[in-house]
Amino acid sequence: MRQFVIYQRVSSTEQGKSGLGLEAQERDIQLFLENYAETPYEVVERFVEVHSGKDNQRPLLTAAIALAKEKRATLVVSKLDRLSRRVSFIASLMEDRDLDFKVAQMPHADKFQLHIYACLAEQERDFISQRTKAALAAARARGTKLGAPKHHLEALAAARTQKAREEALKVAGVIVPLRKAGASLRSICEALNSSGATTSRGNAFHPSLVRRMLSSLEVLA
């Protein structure tokens, strides 16, 4: 019988108490088990942790990985960033031959694809950080006093505007190789959304948007 160890994570106590983030993860994992898991199967244990994904020193994640190895079970998470937001940590898990893990939202993804998704997510966070810092510095240079709600919104708006200008080029580094490798528009969207990446407006990517981006880069969409 195929065995699974479930790991769910939220970043804040508020999310943990509300259950909203956990409910979405549980729904994704259940859909994976019902539609993609070998039957019969058994859920050995579920681990739920309230901890930042930036910190890889998480007791319950460590326990979940250890149990999966001990039972020769498959570790299941809803999204890749529930394991970690750091590419190096994801890569270390991939290199562990004693550990098998699956991402519910990407049931058919192999290790190569998961590595690309992890790189994309990390690149997205770096871009956001850089743009936000640049926008805040520009606001200070104009004499804008930061800290008050109004000024804070102005700085955020400036960061979003800068991000929108660079969005096509930013995503191109990932979507172009995937498209040239034969990935469908829907598969590319799934990769972007599952990695945690969003558009400049904070929305999910959709096929028509990816098509326009590829067209703007003169890549056959």
Helix (H/G/I), strand (E/B), else coil: 77: strand
pLDDT tens digits for range 55-92: 778 899 999 999 999 999 999 999 988 988 788 888 89
Q: Where in the chain is the domain with CATH 3.40.50.1390?
A: 2-103
The answer to whether 11 and 79 are in contact (CB under 8 A) is: no
Does the domain formed by 2-103 have CATH 3.40.50.1390?
A: yes
Q: Distance between terminal CA atoms of the chain?
A: 43
Radius of gyration for the alpha carbons in the chain, expressed in angstroms and rounded: 19
Q: Please give the model's pTM, rounded to 2 decimal places.
A: 0.58
Of residues 124 and 109, which shows the higher confidence score? 109
Q: What is the pLDDT of residue 125?
A: 64
pLDDT tens digits for range 150-205: 555 666 666 554 544 466 677 777 888 888 878 888 888 888 887 777 777 777 88
Tokens of 23: 């409910």
